[in-house]
Each structure stands twice: as structure tokens, then as C-alpha cells.
Amino acid sequence: MKRLWAWAALIIGLLYFILPLVGMTNFSLKMRRGEYSFDAYAKVFADSRFHETFSYSVWMALLTIIFGVFLVVPTAYWVRLKLPFLRPYIEFITLLPLVIPAIVIVFGYIRLYNTSSWLPLTGSYVGTDILLVFGYATLSLPYMYRAVDTGLRTIDVTTLTEAAQSLGAGWVTIIGRIILPNVTVAVMSGAFVTFAIVMGEFTMAALLNKPAFGPYMQLLGANRAYEPAALAVIAFGITWACLGLMQLVSKLQKTPQRPV
Amino acid sequence: MSFLTLSHLQKSFGATKVVHDFNMAIDKGEFISFLGPSGCGKTTVLRMIAGFELPSGGSIVIDGKDQTRLKPNQRNIGMVFQAYALFPNMNVFDNVAFGLKVAGKPKSEIETRVKEMLKLIHLEHLADRYPYQMSGGQQQRVALARALAPAPQVLLLDEPLSALDAKIRVSLREEIRQIQRQLGITTVFVTHDQEEALSISDRIVVMNAGKADQIGTPGEIYNRPTTRFVANFVGTLNVIQATLVNGSTGALKIGEETLSLPQSIEGKADGSQISIAFRPEAAMLAGPSTGPAVLSGTVLSSNFLGSVLRTKVDLGGNIISFDMFNHPSATLPKAGETVTLALQQDGLMVLGD
């Protein structure tokens, strides 16, 4: 009997999540009257703004990931190695983007870096790109930091560092050739989550007036019927592909070092 | 002139002083063991030599060069850790080559040196393996090759055998000693295992509460301990309380029996209580006799330990153990039986407290 209830709960849960997706996908295929077609997808792919915004967001995502790795890996490593007493505070700080809305962060940036400030980043195209990368890195911080910190937990950071030091290595060599390669899987997990966040983010890109994928989806949704559904399916596909890649990369990880 | 000199070395963590005025001079090519219980400061001294801990006072000089303030990567010191610390993302070849690559050696030289090191540890055939594909003993041998590859001035071994099983431990310690002799490298080995220290060291430093209690050859440490701590820590020791009858002749009284030491006892007044120590192997069963070091007592228990038979005896209120070699016709003394023990006079030690 218990088993039956468990199956029933699972089926209800799956229907709750899958039915809207099925409905949306079904709707996105009904652009042509009376028959199923990929017309909506063809229109989306043919739209030059789709290509522009999509490629812009991909670039921003890659830059955010690179910036995030350079920011988070050395920080998490240093905290674990030298400042373990700071870990709870650092964890708290990295969680703040989950409770502070993106609109607050971006308005903070706009106020702090406006054209009359000492660092007028909002005054140029590249400047707003930099602000957007900073904003995206902030939004992805909870996921990136946790992923890297978990990765660092699986290796003996202190002993590996000391072993490398005794062999003559400096900090850059240690981070670049010992620590980073051993937390690659964790970094990749954080990177894929960051990618998914950046591809769907609307608030920051819209308020900084950037041609990103999020504002494009919103714009399309406000003016068209079938294309937004097709775009939503594409966005879901991107997210799932990221999750799939995370699984794939984690399977490729070498077994951690342990005494045999 | 010594090769590695530790002068007045001190280390404090906050208000806790863990190393007090540690002094030692180590010759080139010597194999030194730091032996002591957990928390005695032996690893801290080793870590100060490696540069991982900055001394609170004193100096570390290697080959005439003061290294006290140098960073670990600026010293030419190889280190092997208890937890192997092989880089998990690199195979055996790359692990051994790491120090040479960091030093910017040419590729051909790196290849030659790594092959030489792998041959030294008899693991040439495992060059492509990753750490997780090897046993603990193999990983530790690779760690040794990696530490030796850049030809360090000093090799530091931080309890390298503790994580291994007993059989591997014995074979690897012999291998370490043989490689050390072959290369003639000055080595400092930290262990809490007295058998390890006694079997492979040129000299042993017995550490207690942040100080070197005694520095000496394994024979000196075992046979002539200078403090009660060293006597108790290294090997099994029987301590009996005796009354000094005549210091100049070395005559003592234990219970109702008398015992003569081969040497006079100075600095103690006749009639005072002194502690006499001897190893279980310094006593043997004897017939009734009135020799200079013969005592009788009551057997409390006997245990069969394989190669030896260990018996506990009450000697005038002092509980002692003595060992006999096992042989097929050997019989264990029975509890309650009265036995006479002959003590080797040169095996008797007067403990300074």
C-alpha cells in the first residue's frame, strides 16, 4: 500500500512539472493552423536579434565564468588554507545574492558607477558590459562558491600545498597546476549553473540597456504568440544541456586520492 | 663542522610554547630520527626546518647558510608526508617531474632524472599510473622519488610509514634507509614508533614536552637512557625501588634482599631511596644462588608471545617482567611459584629523576 502511495505521489509530481512543458511545446508547434510544424522555431532562428542577443549572452556568460573562477577559486582556497575561521562569514556573504533582489544590486551599481562618479562605468558601452559581468558574477556567487568549496573539501589542500611548496612551487603554480586541476569538476558545475543563470537573466541586462537574451525573450513574449513558447522550449533545452554536461563532467572525474 | 645546525630553536602558538630551546648539530649524510609521543614537538621542529612554521626564536643553518627566514619554496629541502600528498591530477611520471619542471630544467634532463628516480624505487613500470591506481606503499615510494628528484640538501620524512600496514612498513623503512645510504643524503625522520627509530637511525633524538631529552645512537638510547622518560618511552622497562646501603660499593637493599651494582652511586646519601631500572631481557631464571645481582620473587602471571615468554614477578613489592626465548621444550613459570632471577649487572641503570 505504501508503495502505491509513493508511486502516486511521484506520478502527480511528474505531471505537475511535465504537463505545462508538454502543453508549451505542443503550443509552440501549432503555429500553422491544423497541423504540427516547426514554423515558430524557424522564425525564431531566422530572427537576427535572436542571433545577436544569444551570442551576446553567451559571451557575457563566458566572461562571467572566467571572472568567477579567478575570483572564487583563489578566495575559497585561501580561506580554506589560511583563514578557516572566516569560512562562516564568507559563506554568509556569498549567500546574500539569494536574498538581495537583482534590481537592488543593479541600482547600486548604477548609483555607484554613474557618469559623475570617480569610476564612470555607466558612461560607456564597455563599462556597462563590465558592470553586467560583475552583476552576473554576483548572482552566480552562491552556486560557484559552494561548488568550488565542495571540490576543495575532497582534496587535502594543506598537504598538497606544502608538498608543492617543498618542491619549489610558488602560489601561482600551486593554484594553477595543483589546486585548479583538482577542482575542475566542481568549477565546471559552477560554470554550467552560471551559464544557465546568465542566459535567462533579465533585470540587470534590461536596466543596463544591454542586448542580452533575457530582455529579448521578454520583448518577444510581449508581442508574439507562438515564438515565445518556442523560445522558452529552446531556453529549457539550454538549461537541461548544462545540467547534462554537469553530470557528464562529474562522471569523468578521477577517483580522489586515498590510502589503499 | 655540522651540515644542519638547529640553534636555540623555539616555537610558541599563542601562549603555548611547544618547542623549548632545541639544539642539534647534524652531520652530512646522517640519518636522524625524532622520536616521541604525540604533542612532544617533533613534527613542529621538522616543519620549522621545512619552512612551514616560522620559529619564535633561534636559527636553522644548512651548509653554512642561514635558512631561518626563507620561505619553503626557497629552501632546497625534500619532504615526504604521512598522507603521501601525491598530486591526484598527475601520473607518477609527472608527480616525480614536478619539482624539476618548477626549477625550469630542460625536458631531456627531466626525463633522465625521473627515470633514474623511478628505477631507484623499482617502479619504472608504473610511470603512467595515477595515485588512485596504486597501493599506499607504492604511493609513498613515489612520494619519496618526487622529494629526491630535485636533489635536495636535506630530506625530511614526516611519519611516512604510519599509514601503511605492518609488513609494508618494515620493508619500506629498509628501502628508505638503503636509498638514503646510497645517495648519502642528510635525513630527518619523524616517528612515534620506537622500533622504526631504533632500526634505521644513525642517531635518535628522544623528545618530550618540546625538549630533546636525549640525543644518542640507538644503542645508547636503549641501553643507557639518561632520563626516566627516555627509559620508559623506549622499550619496556622495569623500575624497582631500592634503599641505598653503601653508595661507594654500589650496595642496595630491595625488600629483604641485597643487590650490588658494578659501579658506585654518587650524589645520593646512604639510606636514601633510589630507582633502579632494567630491561626484561636483562633478567633470567637462575638456580638458588648468592651472586651479586640475584633476587627471588613470586610469579604473578606468564604470557606466551611467540618468540619470547614474558613473566611477571613480584620482587619485594616491585612488579617486574622478564623475558625468556621460546624453544620447543620451554615451560612457562606458574603463577604463585617462587623463582630466582639473575640480573645482568651491566643492564642495571640508576635513574636520575
| C-alpha distance from A91 to closest chain B C-alpha (Å) | 27
Per-residue model confidence as pLDDT tens digits over B108-144: 999 999 999 999 998 999 999 999 999 999 999 999 9
For the domain spanning B236-350, the CATH number is: 2.40.50.100
- Quick one: pLDDT band at residue B226, thresholds 50, 70, 90? confident
Chain A residues with CB under 8 Å of B77 CB are: 166
The predicted pLDDT at position A59 comes to 94
Average pLDDT of A92-120? 89
Spell out the domain ranges in chain B: 4-228, 236-350
Q: Any idea what DSSP says for residue A82?
A: T
Q: Which CATH number fits domain A39-251: 3.40.50.720, 2.40.40.20, 1.10.3720.10, 3.20.20.70?
A: 1.10.3720.10
Of B77, B88, B132, the CB nearest to A166: B77
Encode pLDDT of B163-176 as tens digits.
888 888 898 999 99
Q: Are B41 and B207 in contact (CB under 8 A)?
A: yes
A69 pLDDT higher than 90: yes
ipTM (interface pTM): 0.83
- Of the options 3.40.50.1370, 3.90.1280.10, 3.40.50.300, 1.10.1060.10, the CATH number for the domain spanning B4-228: 3.40.50.300
**pLDDT reported for residue A254:** 54
Q: Calculate how close chain A gets to B158, using CA atoms only, in Å.
A: 11
B155 in A contact zone (CB under 8 Å): no
Q: How confident is the model at residue A115 (pLDDT cuts 50, 70, 90)?
A: confident
- A200-237: buried (b, 16+ CB within 10 Å) or exposed (e) per residue? bbebbbbbbebebbbbbbeebeeebebbbbbbbbbbee
Domain boundaries, chain A: 39-251
Residue B98 near residue A164, CB atoms below 8 Å:
yes
What pLDDT, in 10s, does the model give residues A147-181? 999 999 989 999 999 999 999 999 999 999 999 99
HSE-up (13 A, CA, CB side) for residue B57: 10
> Which of A170-174, B177-181, B306-310, B344-348 bottoms out in mean pLDDT, i.e. has the lowest?
B344-348
Chain B stretch 19-78, residues whose beta carbon is closer than 8 A to a beta carbon of chain A: 50-52, 71-73, 77-78
Radius of gyration of chain A (CA): 22
pLDDT, tens only, A74-104: 999 999 999 999 999 999 999 999 999 999 9
Residue B309 CB partners (closer than 8 Å, separation 6+): B302, B303, B323, B324, B325, B326, B330, B332
Query: Nearest-CA distance from A118 to chain B in Å?
Result: 40
